[in-house]
Structure 1
């Protein structure tokens, strides 16, 4: 997860809408060289823009944190707790997670603050395989992902977590996920903006209803579909 930088947002915490963004673009592409802080203020998915405009937008990772420095973990003692509305609450070591059926994918990453990274290679486990080990009860409707970064969490419905490219990832671009990117495991949800992709995941709790996560409580959309949320819709 690369979380939105809250400072550049407009009052009320919500990102600048698509129409406002396109209005800014209409003032001239020269405005896109304002600098990093101003560029991050341009909120929305780059993929809704014409290729000529998208090519002028920033690309490459920007790592944000709400409580720096980034969390650390000890491989010898780290565990992932999976609990809540399950028949068999369990603590997974990293080796136990890696022993579950492995999934690999290549997908694009979109931050709601206007930048993207194409063709990120992820390796990890699908939620259907993770949840099969704990047995969700009939009352379970959502998953709460709690980060080792204090106060950060977000949620997905069970249906959202079951989409083909959602995963709990422990590898990125052919190597173990690094500390800035959420080591040892992070949520990957390519069809949603990056603030849903909780990094440094230390607990997954199954609950009976979905609630607002950290950034939703500050004005971002709960269902963060790329191009279909946060004041943006597909097409021009």
Structure 2
């Protein structure tokens, strides 16, 4: 209570400075943790620490929201205090918009399990967009208002004040001289007067170079644009391009050599879904493996009556079906209406002859690191598929091809990439991300979970 009274007794300026300082440090930490979390290539290296880092990012976000709540009672007085400073008012509006946008989208991403996937997808887009805009702006704001730059500005002002009176008079435009002190306009034929006026303008221009502080602000802004601009352009193109080029670009760099390629069924070739209009983010916990058809194999083993091993050509001869389903990542993004073609998992299990003692289905990735599992009931859902084509084309290497698991009702960490092995087991298996803090039952939306 005493500390609360002490806070309220402080002047508005001191309270604003305290909030501004704390918020700056929080924003810095949020930026660092957010960037680390967004780098898909290091997800595997971070391991379980990634979950801890994500929680830290959330806690920092909550603190940022509390700072907004703390500032709210001071907003009216602060706004009145800067009523004659348009640039500071514009800065305040922009910063508050950033903070409210970050906070609202962050809360949605935090509570993703209780909200529809479309909300999460929109929130992630907004969160990323505000980060691309807000972080460079915050850096520029910090540089332009730094103590060192303010010192340069004071030096510029002191130098201007120390100029000889004659130079100061020359630096004053003729238009600023009071009308009563100006001589009557010279006649058009008065060449001497015209020459004198022209010389005064040139002298004023010579005496008004750009200040060091202004130059440093301009240089800082240009450097930020050069550093961030190209990456921001690529992000905007990837986020808003709905022409279906993203999957094609991924496939163009494919490292797999699987021959012959699978021939799509008519429904798959026609792409009856809209997956080609979406954009996938590339995540992996290992180096992305490459496969060749002459060495690739697929096995079903464990507690089954008929263990089996297929080569690539044998695997392509298995009966396939086509389904359209959404693809949801636990980080908040989705790709809607993907057309998948493959073998329903329940048909593979039925052909293998599941023994009564089997309770779980374990999946092995061809990267020889990643594993996951489903209960037998979950594995026998109608839309769980061992997929070989996406939108009528072979699944690209970076998207988990040549074969991957698809579990549409669960987040994609259950949909094991580079799938090569299925094992029926009698005890629960904790998968790669579940061992690092993720939920074992990864239902996309809590309201959709089976009762």
Do they superpose with TM above 0.5?
yes
Q: Which one has a larger percent helix, Structure 1 or Structure 2?
A: 2
Q: Partner of 1:66 in structure 2?
A: 285
Structure with larger RCO (C-alpha < 8 A, sep 6+): 1
Question: Where in structure 2 are the equivalents of 1:82-231 lying within 5 Å?
Answer: 82-228=300-446
Q: Partner of 1:75 in structure 2?
A: 293
Call closer, same or farther: CA 1:11–1:218 in 2, change over 3 Å.
Answer: same
TM-score between both structures, scaled by the size of structure 1: 0.78
- Give the secondary structure class of the aligned counterpart of 1:74: coil
Q: Partner of 1:28 in structure 2?
A: 100
Q: Measure the CA separation in 1 of the matches of 2:355 and 2:55.
A: 35
Call closer, same or farther: CA 1:72–1:47 in 2, change over 3 Å.
Answer: farther
1:11 aligns with 2:52: yes
Call closer, same or farther: CA 1:90–1:16 in 2, change over 3 Å.
Answer: farther
| Equivalent residues, number | 218
Q: Measure the CA separation in 2 of the matches of 1:53 and 1:185.
A: 28
Q: Give the alignment's Cα RMSD to 1 decimal.
A: 3.4
Uncovered stretches (5+) of structure 2, i.e. residues with no partner: 1-39, 66-97, 126-238, 240-278
- Give the secondary structure class of the aligned counterpart of 1:95: helix
Q: Partner of 2:204 in structure 1?
A: none
CA deviation profile, 1:176-230 (whole Å, cap 9, x unmatched): 11100112110100100010010011111110122210000000010100022xx
Call closer, same or farther: CA 1:122–1:148 in 2, change over 3 Å.
Answer: same
Q: Measure the CA separation in 2 of the matches of 1:54 and 1:202.
A: 31
Call closer, same or farther: CA 1:165–1:85 in 2, change over 3 Å.
Answer: same
Residue 10 (structure 1) shift: 4.8
Query: Which of the pair has more CA radius of gyration?
Result: 2
Q: Partner of 1:36 in structure 2?
A: none
Q: Measure the CA separation in 2 of the matches of 1:105 and 1:150.
A: 28
Uncovered stretches (5+) of structure 1, i.e. residues with no partner: 34-38
* 8 Å contact from structure 2 (residues 117, 328) kept in 1: no
Call closer, same or farther: CA 1:45–1:31 in 2, change over 3 Å.
Answer: closer
Residue 152 (structure 1) shift: 0.6
- Give the secondary structure class of the aligned counterpart of 1:214: coil
Q: Measure the CA separation in 2 of the matches of 1:214 and 1:164.
A: 25
